[in-house]
């Protein structure tokens, strides 16, 4: 079997970060939207483009408050978080027209949480046939769109669904 090379130089930043001491969501809450890939903000929540996505337009929605579990959210935070999830799904629907979604959260390291100290909800758009031989044979996921283009498309779409 041929084992070729697929270049993904943007991954080196992630590898060298070693998981960093700072919380990416807290940095995003306090920082510049473009620098931290924030596509939307609400009163209690943020939506951030996943820069190591499972699929194109993979977004994470998190409360602004640094908490690890959903049972620690106030009623207002729950409603706000869920409302932002719905808004992001509408924007992705409008822009990408996926056939479905995986939406969920991983609570605790054993459940797969990569950032277990700050609750977040993954929104992963899915298309019929979006799985292929590359992850199985080549152990590689092919992303068809540059993150900057995805960021711009979703932000533009969010403006459209917010104004309707």
Residue 15 β-bridge partners: none
Which position among 44, 58, 118, 120 bears the catalytic label? 120
Provide the CATH number for the domain formed by 20-162 in this structure. Answer: 3.30.428.10
The per-residue pLDDT for range 10-46, each reduced to its tens digit, is 556 655 555 556 899 999 999 999 999 999 999 999 9
Which helix (H) or strand (E) is 123 found in, with range?
strand 121-126
Which sequence spans correspond to the domains of the chain?
A: 20-162
Q: Which pLDDT belongs to residue 63?
A: 98
DSSP 124-135: EEE-TT---HII
Check if 120 is active-site. yes
Query: Which pTM was predicted?
Result: 0.80
SS3 readout for 41-86: ECCCEEEEECCCCCCCCCEEEEECCCCCCHHHCCHHHHHHHHHHHH
């Amino acid at each position: 079997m041929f084992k070729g090379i697929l270049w993904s130089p943007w991954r080196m930043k992630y590898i060298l970060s070693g998981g960093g001491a700072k919380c990416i969501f807290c940095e995003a809450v306090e920082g510049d939207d473009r620098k931290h890939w924030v596509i939307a903000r609400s009163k209690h929540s943020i939506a951030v483009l996943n820069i190591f996505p499972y699929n194109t337009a993979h977004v994470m929605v998190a409360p602004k408050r640094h908490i690890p579990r959903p049972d620690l959210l106030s009623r207002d935070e729950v409603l706000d978080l869920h409302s932002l999830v719905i808004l992001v799904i509408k924007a992705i629907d409008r822009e990408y027209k996926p056939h479905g979604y995986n939406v969920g959260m991983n609570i605790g390291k054993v459940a797969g949480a990569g950032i277990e100290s700050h609750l977040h909800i993954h929104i992963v758009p899915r298309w019929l046939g979006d799985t292929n031989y590359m992850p199985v044979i080549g152990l590689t996921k092919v992303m068809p769109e540059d993150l900057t283009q995805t960021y711009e498309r979703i932000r533009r779409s969010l403006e459209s669904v917010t104004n309707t």
